[in-house]
Amino acid sequence: MLDVKSERELMAKAIKASKSSYSPYSNFQVGAAILCSSGKIFTGTNVENASYGGGICAERSAAVTAVSQGERKFLAVAVFGSFKDAREDGLQYAFPCGICRQFLREFAAKDMVVLVGTSEDDYKKFSFYEEILPHSFGPEDLNMEA
């Protein structure tokens, strides 16, 4: 579905979004970029809160922005995370948390991919439905007509 150039562009946008992170408590800056079926890309970053439960992850931040602009189908999501001032050799892959996985599921295309990376050139690619959230619960499970 995505070519390498598009994957790198999506990861670059996630990295750029992480720079806007508000993470004074964890110092873990996360950025996400979501490619929608319209071709538009929406980004988000994590925003922490002194009342810890009041924060929001980068993936949900990007998803809420996309949905508020009328998007309803996500083709791909890229996620980048690092500790503030981390050296390149100290970077790690940041996967979506459980709540973000379920939230993304609501709008995930059947072939949606998830990219997690430490740079535009160093990323891993996963199938959302097969590797990130298999056996998931979604809108079709609430269809009472079945």
Q: What is the pTM of this model?
A: 0.93
Predicted local distance difference test score (pLDDT) of residue 1 = 72
Domain of residue 79, residue span: 4-142
| Options 59, 106, 120, 145, the catalytic residue | 59
Q: Taking the CA atoms of the chain, what radius of gyration do you get in angstroms?
A: 15
Number of structural domains (the chain) is: 1
pLDDT reported for residue 129? 97
- Asked about 59 being catalytic, the answer comes back as yes
Q: What is the CATH number of the domain that holds 100?
A: 3.40.140.10
In DSSP notation, 117-143 reads: ESSSSSEEEEEIIIIISTT---GGGG-
Note the pLDDT tens digit of each residue in 71-81: 999 999 999 99
Q: Which residue has the higher pLDDT, 146 or 136?
A: 136
Residues listed for the chain: 146
pLDDT digits (tens, 9 = 90+) for 43-85: 999 999 999 999 999 999 999 999 999 999 999 999 999 987 7
